[in-house]
Copies of this chain bind each other. A is one copy, B any other.
Amino acid sequence: MPAYSTNMRLKFPILALILEIITIILYAVFVTYDDGHGHHDDHHKTNGTEKSPLDLYPMFQDVHVMIFIGFGFLMTFLKKYGFSSVGVNLLLAAFGLQWGLLMQGLWHMTDGKIKMNIFGMINADFSTATVLISFGAVLGKTSPVQLLIMTILEITIFSINEHLVANILGANDVGASMIIHAFGAYFGLAVARVLYRPGLSNGHENDGSVYHSDMFAMIGTVFLWMFWPSFNSAIAERGFPQLTAVINTYVSLAACVLSAYAFSSLVEHKGKLDMVHIQNATLAGGVAVGTCADMQIQPFGAMLIGFVAGIISTLGFKYLSPVLASNLGIQDTCGVHNLHGMPGILGGLAGIVAVALGKAETGSAAMQAAALASSLGFALIGGAITGMIMKLPFWGQPPDQNCFDDSLYWEVPNEEEENEGSLAAAENSKNKAEA
Contacts and interface: CB of A to CB of B under 8 A. Distances in A.
A82 interface: yes
Contacts of A5: 270
A80 to B, nearest CB: 7
A39 to B, nearest CB: 14
A41 interface: no
Given A17-B258, A258-B20, A411 B273 contact: yes
Interface string A82-121: 1100110011001101100000000000000000111001
A250 B121 contact: yes
B33 A247 contact: yes
A391 interface: no
A269 B412 CA distance: 12
A238 interface: yes
A275 B411 contact: yes
Given A53-B239, A240-B36, A69 B223 contact: yes
Nearest to A396: B271
Given A98-B255, A258-B20, A244 B33 contact: yes
Contacts of A144: 261
A410 to B, nearest CB: 5
B282 A90 contact: yes
A418 B265 contact: no
Nearest to A67: B226
A300 interface: yes
Contacts of A80: 418
Interface in A50-98: 52-54, 57-59, 61-62, 64-65, 68-69, 72-73, 76, 79-80, 82-83, 86-87, 90-91, 94-95, 97-98
Main SS at interface, chain A:
helix
A324 interface: no
B299 A61 contact: no
B300 A9 contact: no
Interface stretch (A184-192, A207-215, A379-387): A207-215
B246 A54 contact: yes
A257 B215 contact: no
**Total copies of the chain:** 3
A413 B211 contact: yes
A95 B409 CA distance: 41
Contacts of A176: none
Nearest to A96: B254
A299 B246 contact: no
Contacts of A6: 270-271
A259 interface: yes
Contacts of A258: 16-17, 19-20, 91, 94-95
A259 B20 contact: yes
Contact of A307 (B20, B79, B434): B20
B9 A215 contact: no
A21 to B, nearest CB: 8
A16 B262 contact: yes
Contacts of A266: 9, 13
A242 interface: yes
B218 A86 contact: yes
A243 interface: yes
Contact of A94 (B7, B211, B257, B269): B257
A263 interface: yes
Given A13-B271, A87-B218, 9 more contacts: A10-B271, A13-B262, A20-B258, A28-B300, A33-B298, A33-B299, A52-B238, A69-B219, A118-B246
9 contacts: A6-B270, A24-B255, A90-B222, A95-B254, A208-B414, A212-B212, A273-B409, A274-B411, A419-B432
